[in-house]
Amino acid sequence: MKIRLAVMNEKTSRIPRFYEKTLQQRLGLLEKGGFISAEEHKFLLARQGGLPFNVANEMVENAIGVLELPLGTALNFLINEKEYVIPMAIEEPSVIAAVSHIAKIVRQYDGFKAQSSDPIMIGQIQVVGVPNSSQAIQNIENAKEELLTMANACDPKLISLGGGARAIETRWLEGDDHRPMLILHLLVDCRDAMGANLINTMTEKLAQRVEDLTGGSVYLRILSNLADRRLAKATCRIPFEGLGWRSFSGKEVAEGVQIASEFATADPYRAATHNKGIMNGISAVCIAVGNDWRAIEAGAHSYAARSGKYGPLATWHVEGDYLIGEIELPMAVGIVGGTLRVHPTVQTNINILNISSADELGEVMATVGLAQNLAALKALSTEGIQRGHMSLHARSVALSAGASEVEIDEVVDAMIDCGEVRADRAETILLSLRSDKNEK
């Protein structure tokens, strides 16, 4: 895996009290910090309506409108010595605040380090009814260069950019619960593309020749979302002194996080929730930059089960006086093609990230997943997840109960004081507030 290091510059993603500012003030700070241009400032300020319907109508069938998600920015991220403001599209409260909080801690101790493998995707060709498996496999082996040449003829531009079909592998699947089948894997360097359309085109192109070589019948020709040759990894190292929280010492927090991590390693029931939290962060970035979050989720969870037992994507352990975290998962993302070209807000979000490759995007997303995981485990292993989550969740509850902008804070404070963050409680509090004001 390769590591990219960037030279430190004057940019900083550390913007104190950003959450207290108005929309115009926030955008002004991002422009002043060099994360958005003056044009992007105007675009975001005026574009609270999001995707125009005429564009949406060209993107999907039977369009009837658009569904908006809140778009926020995670701050404080220092990854490979480079500052990042990270767009995140998500409806769940506390996720953006949580990752920004962890990034603020980690940046004091050299920040996150991230790396990635080459952007290799896998295309699968399924062959059934093969009369002689060993001969078929040998024929494929002998014809590898021919097949790679055929695949690469599908996209000369990719070859000019340094990508293209790299190798062919075969697998023979014999089992009691399915018919025998030969699976051909086409390994393709997709460079900065997600790769789905490219892979599918290449496998379709090879199908007839594979039938000739194997004597069998080709059925499925499609990419695999278990992109285990296209991995992103992120790590961080935090001394105990940076982890103290309320009445808990840094050592207590670190040991609590390690114990929580061990739980996820030992138990798939816990690992599923452990990984769901990780994907809260990763998918929010994925959506903001117009990538296929379903593919990323599928690849991540498949990778978590690669040993035959479902386990955690991120792990934490104590080493000396440090807490060390690590995450690794498939990251089939792109910065060219598809939605990225037609969705104006997606284009702006990619500009805010200031990334130069799909590999870099994958590294940023893996880092956000690691930060989100630590935020969750830190809360769970100390005072529980609800306390930190409650105030942000309460705002959504207050809004759903009909609270106006000037009433929200009072309704939220009253719900938290009584420990009941529920819609019926919000409605009762709201009625009482309005009644008191009418009497006055």
Query: What is the rounded distance in angstroms from the CA atom of residue 171 to the CA atom of residue 167?
Result: 14
Does residue 276 have an active-site annotation? yes
- Which token pair is 241? 């002194």
- The beta-strand segments (E) located in 322-404 are 322-330
DSSP per position, 146-191: HHHHHHHTT-HHHHHTT-EEEEEEEEEEEETTEEEEEEEEEEEE-T
Identify the active-site residue in 104, 113, 343, 389: 389
Known active-site residue 176: no
Residue 389 designated active-site = yes
Q: Which of 239, 248, 269 is nearest to 381 (CA)?
A: 248
Q: Catalytic residue among 189, 292, 359, 363, which?
A: 292
Q: What string of DSSP letters covers 242-292?
A: GT-BTTB-HHHHHHHHHHHHHHHHH-HHHHHHHHHHHHHHHHHHHHHTT--
Bridge partners (DSSP) listed for residue 318:
323
Is 292 in the active site?
yes
Q: Which of 92, 110, 146, 424 is catalytic?
A: 92
CA 139/CA 400 separation, integer angstroms: 64
Strands 82-89 and 217-223: unpaired
- Do 46 and 60 meet the contact criterion of CB atoms below 8 Å apart? no
> Of 276, 309, 319, 409, which is the active-site residue?
276
In whole angstroms, what is the distance from residue 76 CA to residue 107 CA? 7
Q: Are 283 and 293 in contact (CB under 8 A)?
A: yes
Going by their DSSP bridges, the two strands 120-128 and 71-79 should be labelled as: unpaired
Active site residues: 92, 276, 292, 389
